[in-house]
Amino acid sequence: MQLHPSTTPLTDTKALRRAFGTFATGVTVVTTGGDVPHAMTANSFTSVSLDPPLVLVCIDKGAVMHQCLTMTGTFGVSVLAAHQEDAARHFSNRYRSLGAAQFEEVEVVQGMFTGVPLVEGAIARFECELWSRHDAGDHTIFIGKVLALCQDADSEGLLVYRGQFREITSELREVTA
Ligand SMILES: Cc1cc2nc3c(=O)[nH]c(=O)nc-3n(C[C@H](O)[C@H](O)[C@H](O)COP(=O)(O)O)c2cc1C
């Protein structure tokens, strides 16, 4: 087997970021409530386990959200709908102070089980309790146990691919895994 000619050793963070960006994902807003109300756009959200029901998010150690998740035992995840690009952009701005001001421009509702803020109109919303955390380089992996969820079967999700927000436009085909 021949070596691929355009494979390069990893020296360039920008190239790594671009390569990571070829993996299309949905877009979520991770939220904390109580004494540390805060929200942050994240596409590292992943489902982990059905039994127990676990999800994960990877949070930059420099993010305000990292401190919030360290201080609180619960968090929310709102999976954004295709029309919620503004919310994705809003919550990807760094907020140095915690508090309700961050939520003035985007409508949120309070989770029934944990009280965490959840984005109104999101296509799925999860309320989670912190299950475990794992050190991972410049990020920490936070695993949450899903306590409650709600979903909207009719709306399409917002996507991010190659550093750009996208919408689903092509014909849909069943996955039979
Ligand atoms: C589409 C998108 C996805 C993002 N995903 C993540 C992520 O998974 N983890 C992360 O730490 N930051 C992620 N970010 C960056 C944070 O949203 C951004 O750094 C934010 O300013 C952090 O806010 P905070 O410091 O106020 O908590 C993402 C940004 C965008 C636009």
Largest CA distance in the chain: 58
Token pair, residue 127, equals 């309320």
Q: How confident is the model at residue 159 (pLDDT cuts 50, 70, 90)?
A: very high
Give residue 98's pLDDT.
Answer: 66
Cis peptide before 53 (omega within 30 of 0): no
Q: How confident is the model at residue 82 (pLDDT cuts 50, 70, 90)?
A: very high
Dist CA 43 CA 176 (whole Å): 24
Q: How confident is the model at residue 126 (pLDDT cuts 50, 70, 90)?
A: very high
Give residue 68's pLDDT.
Answer: 95
Task: Decide if 165 is inside a domain.
Answer: no
CB of 67 within 6 A of ligand 1: the answer is no
Q: Distances from the Cα of 162 to the Cαs of 21, 46, 90, 102, in angstroms?
A: 4, 18, 19, 27
Q: How many residues does the structure list for the chain?
A: 177
pLDDT digits (tens, 9 = 90+) for 45-72: 999 999 999 999 999 999 999 999 999 9
Cα dihedral sign, 128-60-12-89 = positive
Task: Decide if 31 is inside a domain.
Answer: yes
> pLDDT exceeding 70 applies to what percent of the chain?
98
Please report the atom of ligand 1 found closest to the CA of residue 45. Answer: 8
DSSP string, 84-138: -HHHHHHTTS--SS-SGGGGSSS-EEE-TTT--EEETT-SEEEEEEEEEEEEETT
Q: Tell me what the mean pLDDT of segment 18-41 comes to.
A: 95
Task: Decide if 168 is inside a domain.
Answer: no
**Ligand 1 mean position, distance from CA 1 (Å):** 40
What CATH number does residue 111 fall under? 2.30.110.10
Question: Which of left, alpha, beta for 92 (phi over 0: left; psi -120 to 50: alpha)?
Answer: alpha
**Ligand 1 mean position, distance from CA 76 (Å):** 15
Task: Decide if 155 is inside a domain.
Answer: yes
Least confident stretch, 61-65, 77-81, 151-155? 151-155
Task: Decide if 142 is inside a domain.
Answer: yes
Q: Tell me what the mean pLDDT of segment 141-148 comes to.
A: 98
Task: Decide if 167 is inside a domain.
Answer: no
For the chain, how many structural domains are there in total? 1
Q: How confident is the model at residue 168 (pLDDT cuts 50, 70, 90)?
A: confident
Token pair, residue 10, equals 């990893």
Task: Decide if 95 is inside a domain.
Answer: yes
**Residue 121 lies in domain:** 27-160
CB of 159 within 6 A of ligand 1: the answer is no
Task: Decide if 177 is inside a domain.
Answer: no
**Ligand 1 mean position, distance from CA 47 (Å):** 18
